[in-house]
Amino acid sequence: MDLKKYIRDVLDFPKKGIVFKDITTLLKQPEPFQYAVDTIVDKYKDQKIDKVVSVEARGYIFGGVLAYKLNCGFVPVRKPGKLPAETIAKDYTLEYGTNTIEIHTDALEPGEKVLIFDDLLATGGTVQATCQLVEQLGAKVISCVFLIDLTFLKGAEKLKNYEVFSLIEY
């Protein structure tokens, strides 16, 4: 299935010069949404994943479904101050600024196998920081999975120590 035809380009969002890849046009159609989820699940179903870790907010849409289909737990990574219990944090750079993410200190156990999902790979900063948080808690990153990879931004280079898998490339 050609998933690209379900992605909408939004010019100058969130700031001038950015062409935002809007996945809501894919999500509202059951066939491409199911195809995307099923393709990822088929690739990782035999890997005995313990947790799917996703970054807010669009990553949660897929992350929860993937965790359910892979019969594992789901762990949210959030912006500072949004998680209610003790957290660890990591600062990172993204394609149009800087940010910080947090994860609960009890979200993962040492040795757990983790699949990280985010909707889009741009410069790689968000998921690189997520990988570092996962590893700081003693878990192992099995793969970094994306619906979309903006290959021209070379985000996969920041993730060269991990398997990177995406369904759509631009």
pTM > 0.85: yes or no: yes
What CATH number did the domain enclosing 144 receive? 3.40.50.2020
Q: Is residue 35 in a domain?
A: no
Structure tokens at 1: 């299935």
Q: Is residue 104 in a domain?
A: yes
Q: Is residue 118 in a domain?
A: yes
Active site residue 78: no
What is the tens place of the pLDDT at every residue in 101-149?
999 999 999 999 999 999 999 999 999 999 999 999 999 999 999 999 9
Q: Is residue 155 in a domain?
A: yes
Q: Is residue 52 in a domain?
A: yes
30 contact partners, CB below 8 Å, separation of at least 6? none
What is the tens place of the pLDDT at every residue in 15-45?
899 899 999 999 999 999 999 999 999 999 9
Cα separation, 122 vs 146, whole angstroms: 10
Q: Is residue 92 in a domain?
A: yes
Active site residue 95: yes
How many folded domains does the chain comprise?
Answer: 1
130 contact partners, CB below 8 Å, separation of at least 6? 53, 55, 77, 90, 101, 103, 116, 118
Q: Is residue 3 in a domain?
A: no
Cα separation, 70 vs 157, whole angstroms: 27
- Catalytic residue (choose from 31, 56, 58, 157): 58
Q: Is residue 135 in a domain?
A: yes
**Domain that residue 102 falls in:** 47-169
- Catalytic residue (choose from 86, 95, 102, 169): 95
* Centroid of chain to Cα 56: 9
